Structure 1
Amino acid sequence: MARVSDRHTKVVIVGGGPGGYEAALVAAQLGADVTLVDRDGIGGAAVLTDCVPSKALISTSDFLSRFTAADKLGVGFEVPDGNQGAHAHLRAVNQRILRLAAAQSEDISTRLGAVGVRVVRGRGVLASVDRVEVRDEDDGVVEELAAEVVLVATGASPRVLESAPPDGERILTWQQIYGLQELPERLVVVGSGVTGAELAHAYLGLGSEVVLVSSRDRVLPGEDADAAAVLENVFRRRGMQVLNRSRAAGVERTSDGVRVRLQDGRTVDGSHVLIAVGSVPRTTEMGLEKCGVELSSSGHIAVDRVSRTSARGVYAAGDCTGVLALASVAAMQGRIAMAHALGDAVSPMNLRAVSANIFTDPEIATVGYSQKDIDEGRVEARSVMMPLATNPRAKMQNIEDGFVKLFARTGTSNVVGGVIVSPRASELIFPVALAVQNRLTVDQLAATFTVYPSLSGSVAEAARRLHSLQD
């Protein structure tokens, strides 16, 4: 690809997660002189301590869970001594996960080097809008970098409770769980958002007894209510104890585990506790406000739809912006920022076309407008929900839980959103995302061939039912 400019614009990127490394790749492709300042490892939390490790852990759990359902398919595992079943060896599981994460980080580093991106180890601090200081662990300045464009992509860290300080042994954040050598006998998960639900599901599948403490009326309070209800029912049916409307007040170590105190006076005992109550942006002590970068009350960097901050020449991407805590969104923000800064063609971020997935079993995938948006009048749309129980491929695969829900704008019949609850919903949401992104109608979606039998057939069937509901 031809360079947008032969001027070799100096770009400095602070943070090596998806927002940072994707931005670096685009900037290098567009002919810029790119330096990436990173202190935690290329790939950031997404690769090293969050997305890649957690989804690898969940994949292991899901693989193990197949054995528990084998008898429903007429499959048995008989051995001479009469014992059967599969078991998770957590030390080996975590060793594999960390090797996988390290290999992914190395692959990204190799790609950055191949396109000429210079990587500097250290903590990046903005001395001005056109100068970044690289500091070491003792906060000494080891290098100063001139910059015509700066991108801040420093991510976020797990939010901790003052009444439950993590110790990395029994009281854990989601970044610390991969140091466990043995499977928790009884894991108490505090927080029923995406991270809490995913990891509660993972450890339940691996064989732990799990208690999920939710301060809200249901798990996944920010997600589609029908989808959350399905998942909560599955959790309970598989033996998880779900405590709704139960806010944690503190955690203390006991002689052989932990005790979680709830605000209503109850206590929950366990061998370990995982604190999953959100994250905080890593934007302190970076010189941002001094340089005119506006921060929200929560500490997130305010950005527009092309990732610009309030300071000239300074962009931001990823979890430090608080736009959407998704690696895909961080990467897109970074790419858009560099295209805009370096004069390439660019389209502003379209959050209504973002697809997201919760990696539980079943998975919950969403895109576009939600049922809540419709109910609260933000969009006029019709909806239909198709249970997977009627799908022939679902019956063959012993899938008992899940559905496809589509939303179509009243009048135009354009597909404006959808929810899929199913195994591999992260793959099934793609045709719905294509329809939302390209403003396809339900008739266009319905007229597209699907394989028979297939789970995707329920997407087309839902579209056909929406056609029959047209005014």
Structure 2
Amino acid sequence: MSGGPESNRVVILGGGPGGYEAALVAAQLGADVTVVDADGLGGSAVLTDCVPSKTLIATAEVMTEVAGAAELGVNFKDHEGDAATVLQVDLARVNDRVKLLALAQSEDIARRLSEVGVRVITGRGRLDGPSRVVVGEETLEADAILVATGASPRTLPAAQPDGERILTWEQVYDLTEMPTELIVVGSGVTGAEFASAYLALGIPVTLVSSRDRVLPGEDADASRVLEEVSTRRGMTVLGRSRMESVTREGDRVTVRLTDGRSVEGSHCILALGSVPNTADLGLEEAGVILKDGGFVNVDRVSRTSARGVYAAGDCTGVLMLASVAAMQGRIAMWHFLGDTVHPLDLRKVSSNVFTAPEIATVGWTQQAVDAGEILAESVMLPLAGNPRAKMQGVHDGFVKLFCRPGTGIVVGGVVVGPRASELIHPVSLAVAESLTADQLAQAFTVYPSISGSIAEAARRHHVRA
């Protein structure tokens, strides 16, 4: 550590993944830790974003599986023996469960912080220079400050949420009745996930995308599969359609597009990106440089431009994932407290889009390969040829591996299919540890299994010595 306990006073602004994971590390290393949080431990990831949305999606996954049950020989009958033709979702019960699980997760985090001696102050903190935080009437002296205040849904003057019919992704869990026609504006990860989930719940969905394809930041082959599956299941996708305004009249919502067209529905979800929660925190006065859009500028060990001030999570705009926020927070504390630290390497981050099918990625991308940023060869195997996929009635999706020519080192991968978020892990390990395709191929897989396609893709990368 860097000195005695008196020099290890850590104050953390924000109780989300970046904040509470940092607090656990700092406490483990003997620091005196205080977390200042106003919105509830777990932050938006636990209370209004990741945990709630993935709980909602869990219900949607059941609906998707049940919808395909007939192919597997499963039929539904009513109490009189006639064929049951309608699946129904009680959205109020779904949302009650969503909020209950989110609160339970928040309470678990609070319990864990208490067990390791972390002090939690409810309130909003503001920096008074690089070594002091003011919370209400209390001033906290700090040897290190971690800013982990997160981000909030972006809105526009012409598209203001009302919490009833025009909603941000944080407001959807107050719905008690099923929308009859849902419009989702924005085809990034958040928009695609909600559009896919509500479509699976039986709601007609129109997805408004300003780009030429859904998920423009993801693998193009993966985006193509998702769009094909979504439209086949009934979604209307309006590509190259930029929203101009969203208005409400009574129980109808109108989304006007810049080309003069308009789309009407009962509800609209705005998925327009995020803005960092960095205003009025005293950051610039303390010497912290902010980037365009108000994001905190940090290096790979989470340092800001102000000595002793670190930042983690969505407020940095580095990569808006809970896993990255948590790692940034841990790295900050390892660095400050003198423990072994490895700078953040975004090439080793695995991520997942929780649509149907899921899209999981890690490492270098097809776009980077095509642009010549890295020399790599790719193999893509459709899941339709996988025996387990056939048994489960899975027709869509694929496994793609990127390997360096000559050495065969695995540098990236994409998995599209059910539970891709779980299937990406062996590829993530290969990328993190610079394993070769042969090493990945020679590890046993269960037969039959969808993970067998990962080993098969690796085998196809083999070059005879």
Give the TM-score band, short-chain normalised. over 0.9
Cα deviation for residue 180 of structure 1 reads: 0.5
- After superposition, residues 23-422 of structure 1 pair within 5 angstroms as 23-81=22-80, 82=82, 84=84, 85-134=86-135, 141-422=136-417
Q: Aligned partners of 1:252 and 1:316: how far apart in 2?
A: 37
State whether residues 2 and 336 of structure 2, in contact with CA within 8 Å, keep that contact through their aligned partners in structure 1: no
Q: Aligned partners of 2:143 and 2:68: how far apart in 1?
A: 58
Provide the residue aligned with 2:431 in structure 1: 436
List 4+ stretches of structure 1 deviating above 2 A.
3-6, 80-83
Cα deviation for residue 142 of structure 1 reads: 2.3
1:465 to 424, 445, 460: 460
User: What code does the residue aligned with 1:64 have?
Assistant: M
Cα deviation for residue 65 of structure 1 reads: 2.1
Q: Aligned partners of 1:431 and 1:197: how far apart in 2?
A: 25
Moved more, 61-70 or 173-182: 61-70
What SS does the corresponding residue of 2:30 show, helix, strand or coil? coil
Cα deviation for residue 5 of structure 1 reads: 5.6
What SS does the corresponding residue of 1:128 show, helix, strand or coil? coil
TM-score normalised by the chain length of structure 1:
0.97
Q: Aligned partners of 1:299 and 1:410: how far apart in 2?
A: 41
Deviations 1:346-368 (A, max 9, x none): 11111110000000111000000
Q: Aligned partners of 2:79 and 2:374: how far apart in 1?
A: 62
TM-score normalised by the chain length of structure 2:
0.98
Change (3 A) 1:456 1:4: farther
What SS does the corresponding residue of 1:242 show, helix, strand or coil? strand
Deviations 1:142-165 (A, max 9, x none): 211000000000000000021011
State whether residues 207 and 236 of structure 2, in contact with CA within 8 Å, keep that contact through their aligned partners in structure 1: yes
Deviations 1:7-63 (A, max 9, x none): 251100000000000000000000000000000000000000000000000000111
User: What code does the residue aligned with 1:315 have?
Assistant: Y
Q: Aligned partners of 2:113 and 2:79: how far apart in 1?
A: 53
Cα deviation for residue 66 of structure 1 reads: 1.9
Provide the residue aligned with 2:20 in structure 1: 21
Question: Structure 2 unaligned runs (5+)?
Answer: none
Moved more, 94-103 or 73-82: 73-82
Cα deviation for residue 230 of structure 1 reads: 0.1
State whether residues 75 and 83 of structure 2, in contact with CA within 8 Å, keep that contact through their aligned partners in structure 1: no
What SS does the corresponding residue of 2:456 show, helix, strand or coil? helix
What SS does the corresponding residue of 1:165 show, helix, strand or coil? coil
Deviations 1:36-95 (A, max 9, x none): 000000000000000000000000011122221111111111123435243110111000
Residues matched between the structures, number: 462
Deviations 1:212-262 (A, max 9, x none): 000000000000000000000000000000000000000111232101100
Query: For the aligned residues, what is the CA RMSD?
Result: 1.1
Q: Aligned partners of 2:339 and 2:3: how far apart in 1?
A: 9
Q: Aligned partners of 1:60 and 1:292: how far apart in 2?
A: 46
Cα deviation for residue 381 of structure 1 reads: 0.4
Q: Aligned partners of 1:5 and 1:293: how far apart in 2?
A: 25
